[in-house]
A and B are shown apart, each in its own frame.
Chain A
Amino acid sequence: MAERNTEKVPTVIADQVDIVYRVHGTGAGKGSATAALNRILRPGRAEKAAGVRRVHAVKKVSFVAYKGEAIGLIGTNGSGKSTLLKAVAGLLPVESGKIYTDGQPSLLGVNAALMNDLTGERNVYLGGLAMGMSREQIKERYQDIVDFSGINEKGDFITLPMRTYSSGMAARLRFSIAAAKDHDVLLIDEALATGDRKFQTRSEARIRELRKQAGTVFLVSHNNKSIRDTCERVLWLERGELRMDGPTEEVLKAYEEFTKS
């Protein structure tokens, strides 16, 4: 690790990052109505009394990611992997500490921007625009996106509303739209698990391709095989803490040891 800091260019730096969620209405506090009013009138002071639970999702995590690296994020469920990824993307504010990035990291995913009542075709445009692509760029890549998703292999489905798609088809279209853009820093959250076998191989190839264009790739996955295939460095988060940071084989070995017990 020590030799990493000389000529390598850092793309993402996390400096003592803490992330805290506040959950309202857990019913843990006393009398909901008055407590709720209290919460609105005196935020902060009444937080605890009003039944707001604080969930400390990520605790004092520091790391430096460099250009050209593909970094896997592992850890058991609820260990803060996705949360950390969202904070790197600038989508979740940090409680304390700082995250520095080169350019705008993007989370691979457009699910939320798509509308089930619209045709696949219109969703390709909507999703592309939501990711910040221009109309011309989308027009240029439209055919690639549709071909990659394989939606039209079984008939002209792209002109049907997305609500008529099977869940696998919808997931494939979503991945295809999301993967259509080139990113400086790419964050992938278990996207590899979508679709059938054939599509999975195709999407893994696409991710390797994206990695070549992107400066840095972060991959969250529970699939140790896809981590081994794509990443050379792994961060292991457990209960929000960074437990290990090192070469893939080393960390995965320790992790597999940990999950066995």
Chain B
Amino acid sequence: MSQVLHPPPPTPAPAEEPLAALAARHGLSVSGARPSLPQYVRDLWARRHFITAFATAKLTAQYSQAKLGQVWQVATPLLNAAVYYFIFGVLLGTSRGVADYIPFLVTGVFIWTFTQNSIMAGTRAISGNLGLVRALHFPRAALPISFALQQLQQLLFSMAALVIILLCFGVTPGVAWLLAVPTLVLQFVFNAGVSMVMARMGAKTPDIAQLMPFLLRTWMYVSGVMWSIDATLKHSDVPNFVKTLLEANPAAVYIDLMRFALIDSFKAHQLPHHVWAYALGWALLAGVGGFVYFWKAEERYGRG
């Protein structure tokens, strides 16, 4: 303590009864207290329009200064895919042994970017919006969820670009494409959950935002974004637990599911066992766990 505590100020003595009793008698509640979990869910639901409006506003504001405007929503992911194709497909030749490499790669890049950006945005959801947190009252979980939603909207633009690429490379649309919907829903829940965990950690220690790019890049390289986990594991003698780890990796699970849904030459036997169970399990674990973890610190967000 760097400052001396002064004696209580010479204010008129409070009413005869203690203030806490007076508050209780009139049914006043403690300001800034954390609501119960069911109440929190209800509050959050009441703010659903704010969550969607905030996500859309962020998305639109992103390219509003650019001359080409919203064209960048589609152009950015396409350029990203082109760079990765140049490095991994042309220079390094990772494509050997993978049928339809370009659709394979682009799907991987887009689906990975969705998770990566959601987590990055989540890390800064509270620490980067302190002004908002300190000015207005709303369930703070609205912020990480809103950022995850913004990334989902962004991904839908990317998916439009992906469909064009797929059609160009002779992939035929089929009923299996419908599997993309549950995959995206599960991935979104997973992303939002991890975002909430990161948002709480980032709110307490903003330094984490500096660390995340390195962690995420490492995670990307083990997630089979540019290479096929299945094809690589077949011809190598890595220990079994490494195989299990690589296959259970949530990012790899969602990426492979999306490839399975969209690309004809990506067959079911290339998927790890119990892949839907993994996808659902990760979504539930991250979604519910992340939400509860975030709620536990609700009243502390925005502190100095």
A contact residues vs B (CB 8 Å cutoff)? 1-2, 4-5, 9-16, 20-23, 36, 40, 53-56, 59-64, 86-94, 98-102, 104-107, 109-113, 115-118, 122, 125-126, 129-132, 134-135, 161, 239, 241-246
Contacts and interface: CB of A to CB of B under 8 A. Distances in A.
A55 B303 CA distance: 13
Given A98-B20, A112-B129, A132-B138, A92 B302 contact: yes
Interface in B1-50: 1-3, 5-6, 8-12, 14-16, 18-20, 22-23, 26-33, 46-47, 49-50
Contacts of B20: 15, 98, 100
A101 B94 CA distance: 63
Contacts of B11: 62-63, 242, 244-245
A112 B31 contact: no
B14 A40 contact: no
Contact of A1 (B12, B47, B134, B137): B12
Contacts of B26: 9-10, 102
Contacts of B28: 10-13, 100-102
Contact of B207 (A40, A130, A244): A40
B304 A23 contact: yes
A104 B47 CA distance: 15
A87 B30 CA distance: 11
Given A113-B132, A126-B53, A105 B31 contact: yes
B56 to A, nearest CB: 9
B205 interface: yes
Cβ-closest 4 pairs across A and B: A90-B32, A100-B23, A112-B131, A100-B28
Interface residues of B, number: 54
Contacts of A246: 12
Interface stretch (B57-65, B228-236, B258-266, B273-281): B57-65
Given A64-B15, A100-B29, A101-B31, A111 B303 contact: no
Given A10-B23, A15-B19, A242-B9, A90 B137 contact: yes
Nearest to B303: A93
Given A1-B12, A56-B3, A111-B131, 12 more contacts: A10-B22, A13-B23, A21-B304, A40-B207, A56-B1, A60-B8, A63-B11, A100-B29, A102-B29, A106-B136, A110-B136, A130-B54
Q: Is the interface of B mostly helix, strand, loop or mixed?
A: loop
A28 to B, nearest CB: 9
Interface of B: 1-3, 5-6, 8-12, 14-16, 18-20, 22-23, 26-33, 46-47, 49-50, 53-54, 57-58, 60-61, 64-65, 129, 131-138, 205, 207, 299-300, 302-304
A55 B3 CA distance: 8
Contact of A99 (B22, B30, B47): B30
Nearest to B51: A129
A29 B25 CA distance: 47
Contacts of A117: 60-61, 64-65
Contacts of A9: 26
Contacts of B5: 56, 59
A99 B61 contact: no
Contacts of A10: 22-23, 26, 28
A129 B9 CA distance: 40
Contacts of B15: 4-5, 64
B2 to A, nearest CB: 6
Given A13-B22, A63-B11, A135 B137 contact: no
Given A129-B53, A130-B50, A245-B12, A115 B58 contact: yes
B137 A91 contact: yes
Contacts of A53: 2
B64 A91 contact: no
Contacts of B302: 91-93
Contact of B64 (A135, A161, A245): A161
